[in-house]
Structure 1
Amino acid sequence: MEAKEAEAAAKEKAEKAAFAEKTQQKIEQAVAAALANAGSSASAASASAGDSAPTASNINVDWGKANSADIPLFFPGTASIEWILGRNHGGKRAFTKGDRCIECHGEEIADIGQLIVSGESEKELEPNLIPGKRGSIPVTIDATHDAENLYLRFTWPDADHTPAPFIDGGKMDPENAMKLAFMISTDDVEYADRAGCWGTCHADANSMPFEPEKDALLGSDIAKRLNLEGGVTKYLTETRTKLELKGRGGKPLGGWDKLKDEGEIKAAQDANQFMDLVRYKSGTKEVEDGQILAERDMHGGQGAEVEATLQGGNWSVVIKRKLVSDKPGDVNIEAGKVYNFGFAIHDDYSSARYHHVSFGYKLALDNEEAEINAKKQ
């Protein structure tokens, strides 16, 4: 059975690689055709509805030398790090002992997402259902590097619009049909070795079940130190004195208001206890670079280049990121080391917690044991 499963997996991977290569060839052909017919009304008329206009690429990579990994995302609902560490998660004991999320759930990712997004999960992790919303997204990541940069290409199928019934117009973020973000960290960040970026997701963050009232936020002493105008953003436990996990006596889960002093937070920064974050927005073409520590701080960092296209019903997002940076909040990626990696996609004009997320994976340069193995050009 193991041999048959391995053979089937190899066949599926080969088919997906062939599909990805065919898709890339179509994109390149479309780019060439668009450039050859610049300004032509005939070219405009031939473009598929909803597809982005092809442009020449400034990120020159031989993707034939890249390594490919299939990593599905799933809809998490209101699951937070407090939920993972709380009473309702059957895997709490294994997680606290060091087991990675994918070790228990790697074969059931699509099923988990469908149960949550449909409201059929006994965990009741999604109170605001979106009819027809897909529970998971199959994503292929191609990874490669040269002497200076890491290159990642994310490819996945787009989906029909499913309006959110609790939002006027059905679109939470009408300007951006898609947003993609990924985080990288060292093992210095608590839980990152097991859960990737899940340690940044808290039950009291914006749009989550224990989100504080705005008056309570802006009237708190914490508001003098953090930007709370848009609510509580992602943060790491290293910056809080305590997390409420049990909720006994009606206590809200999380720890947004239990901020450590500036000296302790600076010490955490100096000890690499932060998540390096890159985020792209499709509608505004905005590329954001920053970190998560006491809050989400999009301060610019080293910067990253992103090119995104929607062609033939498939998204392709290429990201070029420097391996080494002298900017605070950036993780330097070195040969011989392994890093924690997690990513998320806000599809279909969604925002806040209504995204699809990955479990935690390992990223490295030229390392066959890492799930995301960036091979040298």
Structure 2
Amino acid sequence: MDITFMVALVIALALFFDFTNGFHDTANAMATPIATGAIKPKTAVALAAALNLVGAFLSTEVAKTVSGGIIREGSGGVQITPDIIFAGLMGAILWNMITWLKGLPSSSSHALFGGLIGAAIAGIGFHTVNLETLLQKVILPAVFAPVIAGLVAYVCTRIAYALTSRHDPETGSKLTQKRGGFRTGQIFTSSLVALAHGTNDAQKTMGIITLVLIAAGTQDPGSGPQLWVITACALAIAIGTYAGGWRIIRTMGAGLTEVKPAQGFAAESSTASAILASSHLGFALSTTQVASGSVIGSGMGRRGTTVRWGMVGRIALGWLFTLPAAGIVGALTALLVKTGVVGVVIAAVAGTAAVLYMFLVSRKSQVGHHNAVEVEEAGQAVRFAKKKALARARAAERARNNNPKGPQR
């Protein structure tokens, strides 16, 4: 097959993966502020899309890790080829679509790495994988980042509730807690998460396109992404983010624990800090795992809140199977494309058919901005009813005060 056509096909597929990454990971930044009512759903995804676009231009360290770290560009005569990268992308995209359909916040990053590693091993050999970089910049961050983010969110939540707790100085009884400021603060913290997400996740597709350009001989090994690559990837992830990813927003916003503004503020702060630090160090961590760990930690930090451990278990299983599942699909696709043009065509048609099938299945039980936050809408209705009842009581009290002798006979 003509190398130019294969490179173009891989670039198109990489940008589609970037799009799926966007709508798959919108929940990382905007699930909690939507759940608490800090931002309206449509406004939230539009803000996230804009900040993902900006964030994609702020760093290229993660892109360099992907393009020249995990899969060797060239060592001892070994050279990864565009068809192997094509196979790896197929594994990543199919896993992203499956987990999106199930509403599971799995890692798009690990799906990408799993697909690439599986395709490289099956298509070329085990020696194409840089195990040291894989361990240092993927595996270890995957283990420690969500745990650290969860612990930070737990501590921040406890501090937030302790500092804002109000009691009657005479009786010691609890007064109405004034924590509305955290809802406003969530606009800032969720925006910071969206910006951080752009600095990390958009870089991975930049790294893939840079890798295929290097493999095709049109770019020097060790060089970073070109400006047009950065721009294209930034736009793709921004458009995907605007698409919403409402199924995963519902899971992150209400499926793990009931989220209140103080919790959301703490979770988003710890998530943004972890992602920005990792982007600076070139760690290609899973922003989804970090965000999930933060939500769980914040749930544990608020007294009286129940963490839904059954859902946590489902998500953890998804994390566990992401690398191997995407790797298996990538490996099978690599074996298929090695047969030549016919294999590439079969893989492309089968992958397209699978994506369309999952999209059609999703239409049978649609989740959108109108029903992704049912829990919060119910909570708002209860609060509105309480406010009306309080207003009626105050009006009755004023009427009694204005007529101290009681009703006239």
TM-score in same-fold range (> 0.5): no
Larger RCO, structure (CA 8 Å, separation 6 or more): 2
Per the normalisation by structure 1, the TM-score is 0.25
Per the normalisation by structure 2, the TM-score is 0.23
Structure with the larger helix share: 2
Which of the two has higher C-alpha Rg?
Answer: 2
